Structure 1
C-alpha cells in the first residue's frame, strides 16, 4: 500500500542499482492530466482508471533497468500481476497502524474514507485501510519476496518501527533479490542437459 517508506525505499534502491525509478500511480496521474483529473477519473469511471493502470504497467514491463513502485491497482487484476512477472516483485509489508498514522499525519485521504476530527478518526482510517488490505492481500502474496518492517526492526534490535530507515529496508530487499537470482541460476543450471 502507498506510504513514504515504499517511495523512499524505491528511490534509494533505484539509485543503488543505477535503475530508473517510476511510480506507477504518478504515471497514471500524468496520463490523466494531473492528480485532480486522476482522482476525478477514479471516482467517475473506475474501469477507465484501472485500464490506465494496466496500460502503464504494460508499457513499463517492456522496458529494462527499471524500479517501479506499483500502486494498489497493480495487484487488483491478473493482467497486471502478469506484467509484474516480467521482473522481480517485492512486497514491502508495513503494519496497517503505521499506514493509518501516516495517512492522518499527511492528511492524504484520497484513497481512504475522509477522517473526522473526533477521537475516532484513527480507528476509522485504520478500519478503511484494513478493508483495502484484505481486498488486496491475495495479490500481494503473489510477489516473489516479502520484506516486513516489523521483522527488520526486530532483527536490528529496534523497539520502535520508526527507527528503521529506508537504508535498513534496502539492505533486506537486496538480500531477497540476491536469493531470488541465486535460485534462478540454480534452476537454469539444473535444466541444462548433461
Structure 2
C-alpha cells in the first residue's frame, strides 16, 4: 500500500487519538439505513479508536441460527424477534469501547433508544438513490449502471426504501448527531456523491463526537458547586 493510500486512514487515526481521552471508552452506535458505507465506516472507526466492532443485526441472526432462521423467526414471532433485538442491545450497551452498527430495531422502541443512551448515537444519512443502486448491484449477476435509475426495478426499490425510511426517520432523528453524506460531499466540493469515502465520513463522525464530548464536559463543569 502506497503512502498516498495510507494517508486518509492515518488522518482518521490521528483524529481518533485526539479525542480518545475525552471519549473515555464510551461506545458509539451508528444508526441509519443498512448499507456498505455504514458497515465500512463502523469497521474503520473501530480500528481507529481501537474499539471492538459489532453489527447488532448480525448478532441477532447468529443467535437465531443464521439469516434464514432469523427471517423465519421474524415472520412467525415478531414480538419474540424484537425481544431478541432488545436483548442484544442490552448486552452491547452494558459494555464499553464498542462501535455498533445498529439495525432498525434499535430505533423502533423507547427501550432500545434508552439503551443506546449508554453511548453516543450517530445517524449515518445516505441518499436513498445510492442505497437503491447498491441493492440492485448486489442482487444482479452483472454490473448495473446508473441507467438503472430509469428502470421499473429501480423505482420499485426506491418506493420500498422510502417506505422504510419514513417509518424509521423519527427514530433516526433521536440520535445525538447526524452525519449526512450529501452534506459531507458539499463541504468537500464533490459533485459526485460516490466519490465521498468512508474516511471522509469517519472524519466528520469524529468531529461530531468531539463536539458532543466537549458539550458534555461543559455541562458537567457548569453543574459543579462553587
> TM-score when scaled to structure 2?
0.80
Structure 1: gaps of 5 or more residues: 109-117
Instruction: Write the deviation string for residues 83-135 of structure 1: whole angstroms up to 9, x where unpaired.
Output: 01000000000011111111111129xxxxxxxxx931111110011010101
- Counterpart of 1:146 in 2: which secondary structure? strand
Structure 1 stretches of 4+ with a deviation exceeding 2 A read none
**Of 105, 127, 130, which aligns to 2:162?**
130
Greater relative contact order (CA < 8 Å, ≥ 6 in sequence) = 2
CA–CA separation in structure 2 for the residues paired with 1:162 and 1:45: 38
CA–CA separation in structure 2 for the residues paired with 1:180 and 1:31: 33
> TM-score when scaled to structure 1?
0.93
Note if 1:76 corresponds to 2:122: no
Alpha-carbon distance, 1:3 to partner: 0.2
Note if 1:180 corresponds to 2:212: yes
CA–CA separation in structure 1 for the residues paired with 2:51 and 2:165: 29
Alpha-carbon distance, 1:175 to partner: 0.1
Note if 1:3 corresponds to 2:44: no
Note if 1:24 corresponds to 2:53: no
RMSD over equivalenced CA pairs, Å:
1.2
**Of 26, 47, 60, which aligns to 2:79?**
47
Aligned to 1:103: 135
Structure 2: gaps of 5 or more residues: 1-32, 141-149
Aligned to 1:114: none
